[in-house]
């Protein structure tokens, strides 16, 4: 990383921070070489300018997926980019072709499911988001295309996720090249299942990782020439044997020990195991269990993995016996013996464990004891047996345990390789290396030395590969380049492995001398490497030494180097276990060969490891390498914690920063022409749109005066610091432009303020002048008011004087006039009194005469009225009797109405009679009422006539006053009669009111009856519908049962030889003529000729020749039919001729009703041969139309044998009740009786559909036709998918506008780019139109057309949406606008295609429509999560919204995505979904199923009228097909 340049005041930079490693800030002062920075956390930092690096303020908020795209490729830029991506759960990032994987410490299943594998399969590297699958896919494609083996190197420190990454790599490679292996197990399954076995015996909990691999593993997946996995091999390196006997707190021993202690009780009892705390090899640490891990379940999982790998139950028992024996072996303690330097078994507990160990290993107990506490020394003279002291005995015990466990692990690896099987003929392989990362602890021993030696080797290989990639990039771009120097670690490798004189060589030399100690070994190292700059001697230790590795200095303790380097087995241990009675234990310790036993050649762990490493490097050098660097973000092993300092150290150890340094040594900044002009086009605005992009870049760089850059074929290569210089120039230009804008804005603001002040002054003046005018007006108004008051007061005084004079005059006049008036009144009063006296006298005389005359008239009237009243009384009594009858009739009517209401609910057939009776009763009632009214009116009329006659008689009588005596009794009678008449009138009114109420009740009863009738009709309609649905289901069930039955019969009774038609059971096939009769309702009506023909069947001799000739004629007709339909017969109207002809012929020949026939097979073969060419969509559409029509006719015609027997049984269960009769009537639908055969008159027309009893061949033909229909439909759909699939890849990302969009030609370039995109969409529309025209021309049913386009639009939705989520460059604002414009083209097509053919296709694009709508909306940070999920994107899941929100970037306006609060809420919801076992995959699935059934086709298509279909000429000319010719009525 070169020193930065162009650091000025105001620059945004990165400075070192002791806590955060790097922190960003802004430069506010520069003092010589010191830079003062105001950091973002509010502090001030001072740093040397050489240690300050520029920050890219225009970097995307979500980071870049490839760090070679960073404008500034330096350590803080890399760290910041990784931190931003990790915050968004983007755990993978590229650095060139190196993948950096940061452990998320949480499950992300959506990143590794099958949908994700499908997306990365065949995708170009870098085309989709970074992923471990992309690296595996590149390796696989390179192996297939170039025929060269590839390797994938996975490295990182403990806990970084190497093992999980390796699993994912093998899963994906198995997905690409998997195939079935022997015995039902696949090779890839065994490889994947070998992981749990190796993890159980080779992994353990360490301080940094709960599942740390304590060995290196290189998995070779072998492939055949077709790219299928043909074999595999697992190679392991340096198992940490010392962990078996020694562990530190809070680590654990190997998992297998704890799994066996958690096994089922019977297993523990068998091996005499108990709590792990009771075993010395396990209780050295206080950690016995892992959080979230159930050892009992893991034990069962390991057993299953062993079964898959191929380890037998006997071998499994042997394995666990050895594991249990090691645990018991560790509990054997020793004490001093009677002799000097001797030892014995300490106590009974130790004796028990000794016996148990011998029992499990099936060896002699005494021999085991002697092997632990004694040593045999062989000299030329004699054999000496030497006792061991307790300390040496413990060492012997631990050595035996480590040896047994190491041999067991090696046996497991060999067994896995044997079980999986290697392919000796394989020429290609992909190796996955899961190797331990660089380790540096407080105390480092021989294991760390070997691990770091391995990492030094791999780092050298890595550096060479990175350097090679840089050179290939320069060569590809055809630029001039010179050799780039990079730090080589060969000197460290020489220090370790050089012969002679390397550390390993000196260690082996020290191990061969019996008297060598770790102190003498350390002194030898100090003397040998005292001048080596990579070797450092610590000041305070005599046995420690420090090596300066590429990742930093590591101090090693030489105390146990000699013991851990020795790789030999004690002879007593070897002899003891070789003699074991257990075949498994004996196989772990085979007897050594005589040559090797006699040879004294020394063998060491270091030398053997160096040879293994050399073999590994040879393998890697022969392959094309791919690198994955795993990073552990924090030491607490929890998600969402990003420790900068820790990650920087891992990036250094993983060589990532070294790769960046190599890139910086050449041309660290590379930009495509488009990106360079887009960013720096403002530096040369005079460049017009007619310049080529390359020329324009050259002009910009020349104008800036840069030197040393290179321009390749597609990119601009800049030296270190040149990007910062260009950014500084650009910032200067943009600053000048900003100042110009600020000046104009300030001018505008000042003028705006001046205009506001001027307007305020004018407003103030106008208000003040108005106030003065108001005051003047008030003064004038007060003067006018004073004048008016004076005038009115004076007028008032004058009026008061006038009124006083006037009142006095009036008072005088009043007195005089009153006196005159009183005199006149007195005279008039006297005159009036005289007149009144006279009038009273005259009145008295007249009144006396009148009273006498009145009494005589009243006497006469009373007599006459009494007579008339008695007569009227008799009539009213008669009327009263009739009213009682009317009331009884009313009661009867009410009862009748109730009865009618009840019976209306039950009996439909009596409804009409009841209505008639009710009408008659009502008519009688109305007649009675009318008669009563007439009688009353007549009585009233007679009374009036009598009154008029009496009045006339009185008027005509002479005015003679005669005294008539009045009889009191007659008056009382008259009064009583009058009262009785009144009561009769009241009763008459009450009866009328009752009659009115009766009429109202009758009206209500009629309304209720109508309502009940309506409900009854609705119930009848529903019963009809239910009956039809039930009958259809019964028929379908019967058809299915019959088809199953005949299929079963066929499977049992298929003839082994194909006999000809004449040798089969003969079936009478009678051509349908008007004389043949018909079959109706299951009863056979046969004409005399038919009866004669049937009777002749019984005579074989007379029937033989006619039957033979008939079969020959039928065979000839079949040949003609097959020849006819093999050609394109076209359509008659919208009906396919071929389907109609086939159906008519099969119906006429009664082929559906015969047990054996070949016509169906021949028709199916003809259809199959016609659609062999699957690219001919015209032929496919033609047969799709024919097969659907023919299937529809068969569906509505054929019925199974058992379908008709269900209905008669139901008919027998009749009911005597009305409801039972109604139900029976509803059940008796036309379908239940069956469609009758053609009668004598109808046989002349074969055009009417009818149901026939179908036999097995007809049912099989229907099934085969259904299969062909689905096949043709799927072929047409898949052809259209294949045609538009390449176009969809071009439609998802908008074509980049040329440089002209940055200068004057912006609008024209945008229009051209828009036209380029629309061209791809228009190509899709053209394909849709072409297929639509083809299917319309072939009259494919609109139902099938809708299904095709619905699935096609669903495919478009899935492809576009998945690509949008997997490619960050597609989640931009401008790209959303482009895709939205393309979707508008599809919407316009749907509108043009009409609802009949497009159907709901447009709705299938809901995911991509809502996603694009989200991309193009403005002010995303203001949107709440509820608005996004409920209003904007209700269809999208929270995982999909999170993915789009985090990948979004605005390349047009520079706006941001949704707020951080919304992102945080989305994370919480995703965590809840993952806890609730909700699928977290954000990708969509493409549905390739058949989206319809035969019943759907039958319901959706209209009835086919085949009456007017003209047969083709080849059939029309043949007399055997006369039934096909249209007949006149």
Active site residues: 158-159, 163, 209, 212-213, 437, 439
Q: Say if residues 589 and 403 touch (Cβ distance below 8 Å).
A: no
Q: Which residues contact 1385 (CB under 8 A, 6 or more apart)?
A: 1318, 1321, 1322, 1324, 1325
Q: Say if residues 1109 and 1062 touch (Cβ distance below 8 Å).
A: no
Instruction: Report the alpha-carbon distance of residue 1198 to residue 1017 in Å, rounded.
Output: 33
178 labelled binding-site residue:
no
Q: State the angle between helix axes of 1256-1291 and 968-1053 in degrees (0 to 180), rounded to the nearest 10.
A: 90
In Å, what is the CA distance from 1163 to each residue of 25, 1076, 1395?
Answer: 82, 28, 35
159 labelled binding-site residue:
yes
DSSP string, 960-998: -----PPPHHHHHHHHHHHHHHHHHHHHHHHHHHHHHHH
Output b/e per residue, 1142-1172; b: 16+ Cβ within 10 A: bbbbbbbbbbbbbeebbbbeebbebbeebbe
338 labelled binding-site residue:
no
In Å, what is the CA distance from 620 to each residue of 233, 430, 1242, 1399?
Answer: 15, 10, 86, 58
1376 labelled binding-site residue:
no
158 labelled binding-site residue:
yes
Whether omega before 1033 lies within 30 degrees of 0, making that bond cis, reads no
- Opening angle at CA 1423, ends 1422 and 1425, nearest 5: 135
Q: Say if residues 2 and 50 touch (Cβ distance below 8 Å).
A: no
CA-based nearest residue to 1139, from 1163, 1115, 1168, 1116:
1163
Q: Strands, DSSP E only, in 760-827? A: none
Q: Say if residues 862 and 966 touch (Cβ distance below 8 Å).
A: yes
1011 labelled binding-site residue:
no
Q: State the angle between helix axes of 1438-1447 and 1342-1366 in degrees (0 to 180), rounded to the nearest 10.
A: 50
Q: Which residues contact 1523 (CB under 8 A, 6 or more apart)?
A: 1071, 1072, 1144, 1148, 1246
CA-based nearest residue to 1514, from 1145, 1124, 1162:
1124
Query: What totals of helices (H) and strands (E) does the chain contain, helices first?
Result: 46, 30
Distance of CA 69 to the CA centre of its chain: 33
Output b/e per residue, 1246-1285; b: 16+ Cβ within 10 A: bbeebbbbbbbbbbbbbebbbebbbbbbebbbebbbebbe
Count of beta carbons in the 10 Å neighbourhood of residue 275: 11
Instruction: Report the alpha-carbon distance of residue 609 to residue 1508 in Å, rounded.
Output: 90
Instruction: Report the alpha-carbon distance of residue 490 to residue 1187 in Å, rounded.
Output: 75
The CB-side HSE value for 1040 (13 A sphere, CA atoms) comes to 8
- Pairing mode of beta strands 203-204, 212-213: antiparallel
First to last CA, the chain: 100
Q: Strands, DSSP E only, in 463-511? A: none
Instruction: Report the alpha-carbon distance of residue 163 to residue 204 in Å, rounded.
Output: 13
CA-based nearest residue to 101, from 24, 23, 153:
153
Backbone angles phi, psi at 548, to 5 degrees: -90, 95
Instruction: Report the alpha-carbon distance of residue 56 to residue 77 in Å, rounded.
Output: 8
- Opening angle at CA 1363, ends 1419 and 1374, nearest 5: 35
161 labelled binding-site residue:
yes
Q: Which residues contact 1362 (CB under 8 A, 6 or more apart)?
A: 115, 119, 1483, 1484
Count of beta carbons in the 10 Å neighbourhood of residue 314: 10
Bridge partner residues of 216 (DSSP): 237
Binding site as annotated, residues for ATP: 156-163
Binding site as annotated, residues: 156-163
């Amino acid at each position: 990383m070169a020193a930065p340049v162009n650091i000025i005041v105001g620059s945004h930079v990165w400075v070192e921070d002791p806590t955060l490693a790097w922190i960003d800030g802004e430069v506010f002062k520069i003092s010589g070489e010191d830079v003062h920075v105001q950091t973002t956390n509010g502090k001030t930092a001072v740093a040397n300018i050489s240690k300050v690096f520029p920050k890219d303020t225009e970097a995307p908020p979500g980071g870049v997926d490839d760090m070679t795209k960073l404008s500034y490729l330096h350590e803080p830029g890399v760290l910041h980019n990784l931190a931003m991506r990790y915050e968004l759960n983007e755990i993978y990032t590229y650095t060139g072709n190196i993948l950096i994987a940061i452990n998320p410490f949480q499950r992300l299943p959506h990143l590794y499911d099958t949908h994700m594998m499908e997306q990365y399969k065949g995708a170009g590297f870098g085309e989709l988001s970074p992923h471990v699958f992309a690296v595996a896919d590149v390796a696989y494609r390179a192996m297939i295309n170039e025929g060269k083996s590839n390797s994938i190197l996975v490295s990182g420190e403990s806990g970084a996720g190497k093992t999980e990454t390796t699993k994912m790599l093998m899963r994906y490679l198995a997905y690409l090249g998997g195939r079935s292996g022997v015995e039902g197990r696949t090779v890839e399954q065994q490889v994947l299942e070998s992981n749990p076995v190796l993890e159980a015996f080779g992994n353990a909990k360490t301080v940094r990782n709960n599942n740390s691999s304590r060995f290196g593993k290189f998995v070779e997946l072998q492939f055949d020439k077709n790219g299928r996995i043909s074999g595999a091999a697992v190679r392991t390196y340096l198992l940490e044997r010392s962990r078996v006997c020694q562990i530190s707190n809070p680590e654990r021993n190997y998992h297998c020990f704890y799994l066996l202690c958690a096994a089922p009780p019977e297993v523990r009892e068998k091996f005499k195991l108990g709590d792990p705390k009771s075993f010395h090899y396990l209780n050295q640490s206080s950690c016995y269990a892992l959080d979230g891990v159930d050892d009992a379940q893991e034990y069962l999982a390991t057993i299953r993995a062993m079964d898959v790998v191929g380890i037998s139950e006997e071998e499994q028992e042997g394995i666990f016996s050895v594991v249990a024996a090691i645990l018991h072996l560790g509990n054997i303690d020793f004490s001093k013996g009677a002799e000097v330097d001797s030892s014995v078994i300490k106590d009974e507990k130790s004796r028990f464990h000794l016996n148990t160990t011998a029992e499990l290993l099936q060896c002699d107990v005494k021999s085991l004891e002697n092997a632990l506490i004694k040593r045999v020394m062989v000299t030329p003279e004699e054999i000496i047996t030497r006792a061991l002291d307790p300390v040496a005995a413990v060492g012997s015990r631990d050595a035996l345990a480590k040896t047994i466990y190491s041999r067991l692990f090696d046996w497991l690896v060999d067994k896995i390789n044997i079980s999986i099987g290697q392919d000796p003929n394989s020429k290609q392989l992909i190796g996955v290396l899961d190797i331990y990362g660089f380790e540096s602890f407080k105390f480092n021993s021989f294991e760390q030395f070997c691990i770091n030696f391995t990492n030094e080797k791999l780092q050298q290989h890595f550096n060479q590969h990175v350097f090679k990639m840089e050179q290939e990039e320069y060569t590809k771009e055809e630029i001039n380049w010179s050799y780039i120097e990079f730090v080589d670690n060969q000197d460290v490798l020489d220090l370790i492995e050089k012969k002679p004189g390397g550390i390993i060589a000196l260690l082996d030399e020290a191990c061969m001398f019996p008297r060598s100690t770790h102190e003498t070994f350390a002194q030898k190292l100090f003397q040998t490497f005292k001048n080596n700059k990579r070797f450092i001697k610590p000041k305070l230790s005599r046995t420690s030494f420090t090596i300066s590795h590429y990742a930093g200095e590591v101090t090693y303790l030489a105390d146990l180097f000699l013991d851990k380097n020795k790789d030999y087995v004690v002879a007593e241990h070897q002899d003891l276990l070789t003699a074991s009675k257990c075949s498994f234990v004996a196989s772990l310790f085979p007897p050594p060969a005589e040559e090797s036993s006699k040879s004294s050649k020394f063998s060491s762990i270091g030398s053997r490891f160096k040879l293994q490493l050399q073999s590994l490097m040879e393998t890697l050098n022969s392959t094309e390498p791919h690198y994955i660097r795993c990073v552990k973000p924090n030491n607490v092993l929890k998600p969402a914690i990003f420790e900068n300092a820790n990650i920087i150290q891992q990036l250094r150890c993983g060589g990532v920063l070294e790769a960046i340094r190599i890139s910086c040594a050449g041309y660290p900044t590379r930009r495509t022409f488009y990106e360079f002009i887009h960013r720096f086009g403002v530096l040369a605005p005079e460049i017009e749109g007619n310049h080529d992009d390359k020329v324009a870049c050259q002009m910009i760089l020349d104008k800036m005066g840069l030197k040393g850059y290179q321009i390749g074929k597609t990119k601009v290569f800049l030296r270190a610091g040149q990007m910062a210089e260009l950014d500084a120039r650009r910032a200067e230009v943009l600053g000048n432009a900003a100042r110009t804008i600020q000046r104009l804005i300030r001018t505008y603001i000042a003028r705006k303020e001046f205009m506001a002040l001027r307007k305020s002054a004018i407003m103030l003046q106008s208000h003040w002048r108005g106030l003065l005018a108001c005051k003047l007006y008030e003064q004038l108004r007060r003067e006018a008011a004073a004048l008016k008051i004076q005038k009115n007061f004076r007028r008032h005084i004058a009026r008061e004087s006038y009124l006083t004079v006037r009142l006095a005059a009036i008072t005088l006049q009043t007195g005089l006039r009153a006196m005159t008036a009183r005199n006149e009144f007195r005279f008039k009063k006297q005159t009036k009194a005289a007149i009144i006296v006279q009038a009273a006298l005259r009145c008295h005389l007249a009144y006396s005469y009148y009273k006498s005359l009145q009494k005589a008239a009243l006497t006469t009237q009373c007599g006459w009225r009494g007579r008339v009243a008695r007569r009227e009384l008799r009539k009213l009594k008669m009327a009263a009797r009739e009213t009682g009858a009317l009331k009884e009739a009313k009661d009867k009517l009410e009862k009748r109405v109730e009865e009618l209401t009840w019976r209306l609910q039950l009996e439909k057939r009596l409804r009409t009679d009841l209505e008639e009776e009710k009408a008659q009763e009502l008519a009688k009632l109305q007649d009675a009422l009318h008669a009563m009214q007439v009688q009353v009116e007549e009585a009233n009329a007679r009374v009036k006539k009598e009154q008029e006659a009496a009045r006339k008689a009185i008027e005509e009588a002479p005015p003679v006053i005669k005294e008539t005596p009045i009889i009191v009794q007659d008056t009382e009678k008259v009064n009583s009669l009058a009262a009785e008449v009144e009561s009769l009138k009241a009763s008459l009114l009450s009866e009328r009111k009752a009659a009115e109420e009766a009429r109202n009740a009758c009206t209500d009863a009629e309304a209720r009856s109508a309502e009940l009738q309506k409900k009854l009709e609705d119930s009848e309609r529903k019963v009809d519908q239910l009956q039809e649905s039930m009958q259809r289901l019964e028929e379908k069930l019967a058809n299915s049962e019959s088809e199953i039955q005949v299929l079963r019969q066929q499977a049992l009774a298929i003839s082994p030889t194909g006999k000809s038609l004449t040798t089969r059971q003969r079936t009478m096939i009678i051509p349908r003529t008007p004389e043949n009769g018909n079959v109706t309702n299951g009863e056979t009506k046969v004409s005399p000729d038919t009866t004669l023909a049937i009777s002749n069947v019984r005579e074989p001799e007379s029937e033989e020749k006619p039957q033979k000739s008939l079969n020959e004629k039928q065979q000839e007709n079949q040949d003609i039919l097959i020849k006819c339909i093999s050609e394109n017969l076209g359509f008659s109207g919208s009906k396919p001729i071929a389907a109609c002809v086939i159906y008519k012929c099969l119906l006429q020949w009664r082929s559906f009703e015969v047990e054996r026939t070949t016509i169906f097979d021949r028709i199916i073969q003809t259809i199959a041969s016609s659609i062999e060419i699957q690219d001919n969509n015209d032929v496919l559409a033609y047969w799709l139309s024919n097969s659907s029509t023919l299937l529809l006719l068969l569906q509505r015609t054929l019925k199974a044998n058992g379908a008709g027997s269900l209905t008669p049984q139901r008919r027998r269960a009749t009911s005597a009740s009305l409801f039972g009769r109604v139900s029976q009537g509803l059940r008796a639908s036309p379908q239940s009786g069956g469609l009758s055969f053609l009668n004598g008159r109808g046989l002349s027309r074969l055009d009417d559909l009818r149901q026939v009893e179908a036999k097995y061949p007809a049912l099989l033909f229907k099934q085969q036709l259904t299969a062909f229909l689905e096949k043709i439909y799927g072929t047409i759909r898949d052809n259209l998918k294949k045609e538009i699939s390449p176009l969809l890849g071009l439609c998802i990302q908008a074509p980049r506008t040329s440089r002209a969009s940055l200068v004057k030609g912006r609008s024209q370039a945008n229009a051209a780019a828009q036209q380029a995109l629309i061209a791809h969409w228009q190509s899709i529309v053209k394909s849709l139109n072409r297929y639509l025209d083809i299917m319309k021309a072939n009259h494919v049913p609109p139902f099938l057309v809708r299904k095709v386009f619905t699935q096609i639009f669903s495919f478009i939705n899935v492809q576009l949406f998945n690509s949008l989520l997997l490619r960050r460059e597609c989640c931009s604002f401008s790209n959303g606008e482009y895709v939205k414009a393309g979707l508008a083209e599809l919407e316009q097509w749907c509108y043009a295609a009409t609802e009949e053919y497009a159907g709901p296709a447009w709705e299938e694009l809901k995911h991509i429509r809502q996603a694009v709508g989200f991309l193009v909306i403005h002010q995303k940070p203001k949107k709440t999560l509820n608005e996004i999920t409920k209003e904007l994107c209700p269809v999208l899941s929270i995982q999909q919204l999170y993915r789009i929100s985090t990948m979004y970037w605005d390349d047009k306006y520079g706006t941001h995505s949704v707020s951080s609060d919304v992102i945080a809420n989305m994370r919480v919801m995703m965590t809840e979904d993952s806890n609730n076992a909700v699928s977290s995959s954000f990708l969509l699935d493409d549905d390739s199923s058949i989206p319809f059934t035969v019943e759907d086709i039958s319901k959706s298509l209209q009835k086919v009228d085949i009456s007017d279909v003209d047969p083709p000429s080849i059939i029309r000319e043949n007399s055997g097909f006369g039934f096909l010719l249209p007949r006149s009525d």
